[in-house]
Structure 1
Amino acid sequence: MRGLLGFLPWIVYAVVATSDEWRWGAITGLVIAVALVLLDRRAGRGWDEMVIESSAALFFACLTVLSLVAPHSPLTPYGPALVNVWLAGTAWGSLAVRRPFTLGIARTMAPREVWDTPQFYRVNVVITVAWAVAFTVAAISLTYVLALSPHATTVVVAVKVLSFVVPAAFTAWYPKHVRRRPAAG
């Protein structure tokens, strides 16, 4: 559950931001992200445990500046898609540098003796890919929906919820599946 707290700034932004007043969503997301990073660092958490929180702080800092400097930017209606573009970039980027963003979080929940095993790393690669794919599909879907029907709130909310719930459910299920697999064979 600790790992899911890192998504709080993104979730609050989704609730607070509207196409007319995205500044408050950006500012709120920034405040929550910075608070999470500061609290996590104070609690002794490493940067590898805070990839999503750190990414959120950077994203919302940039978005806050953009929303204040250009409040009527043509990007305004695409805020939900931008979130998923950024999250997809974070997930795919963590894979590109061979440090899946789930790895640090998983280490807080797994015994130390499994941290350096190929299976532990592979499970985190698969889970991170699931998140990356979900974010990518959501970014494409939201861009398409918002371009064609900017007021399709129900569809936008459904895509945002699914892009979080599906990989979260997979994250909970997959490690258990992998642990059971050898026993079944």
Structure 2
Amino acid sequence: MRGLLGFLPWIVYAVVATGDEWRWGAITGLVVAVGLVVFDRRSGRAWDEMVIEASAAVFFACLTVFSLAAPHSPLTPYGPALVNVWLAATAWGSLAIRRPFTLGIARTMAPKEVWETPRFYRVNAVITTVWAVAFTVAAGSLTLVLALDPRVTALVIAIKVLTFCLPAAFTARYPKIARRRLAEQGRTSA
């Protein structure tokens, strides 16, 4: 799924950054995010298709500057939680302005005649809400876990994986469920 490629900078950061050294993770995340944005724009992708990529570029630019200026900040162990705070803000913000971040991505996979329908918007609002909730749960859980013991790597990884894989699976399935429901409604009203 092309839309999930937008999460690559966040995944790279999660792999490269460690509790003691977040600078390299921030720099690597920034390079990957900027690379994706440049590649996508040169490929003709619209900005609304790249909300997560653009958000990553801004986040990792800020994190890179901050991590270089304050490499031993007390926020260092909370890097995984900060990522999810930012992603949650991106998702909730896109819903607040009535432009769910999944809308542009979905338009690349759906026929043009459905783009402006309320149902198309609703499906994307639901999917974006699921992502927003997952990011929020991850941010809270990671903050709590890291505050109690920053060395519980297995639990941190489990939280990251679950709060990414569950909404990704939902994203893959929900449009099919919505189409099936629409078809069933059409048959019962006919």
Matched residue, 2:83:
83
Alpha-carbon distance in structure 2 between the residues aligned to 1:48 and 1:73? 34
Alpha-carbon distance in structure 2 between the residues aligned to 1:182 and 1:62? 43
Gaps of 5+ in 1: none
Matched residue, 1:95:
95
- Matches for 1:19-98 after TM superposition, within 5 Å: 19-98=19-98
From the CA coordinates, give the structure whose radius of gyration is larger: 2
- Residue 6 of structure 1, CA deviation: 0.2
Alpha-carbon distance in structure 1 between the residues aligned to 2:49 and 2:160? 24
User: Number of aligned pairs?
Assistant: 185
Alpha-carbon distance in structure 2 between the residues aligned to 1:8 and 1:159? 17
- Residue 184 of structure 1, CA deviation: 3.6
- Matches for 1:29-178 after TM superposition, within 5 Å: 29-178=29-178
- Residue 21 of structure 1, CA deviation: 1.2
C-alpha RMSD of the superposition: 0.7
With normalisation by structure 2, the TM-score equals: 0.96
- Residue 149 of structure 1, CA deviation: 1.1
Moved over 2 A (4+): 182-185
SS at match of 1:109: coil
Paired residue type of 2:69: V
Deviations 1:6-55 (A, max 9, x none): 00000000000001111000000000000000000001111000000000
Paired residue type of 2:51: V
With normalisation by structure 1, the TM-score equals: 0.99
Alpha-carbon distance in structure 2 between the residues aligned to 1:103 and 1:160? 24
- 8 Å CA contact 2:19–2:150 kept in 1: the answer is no
Alpha-carbon distance in structure 1 between the residues aligned to 2:54 and 2:74? 26
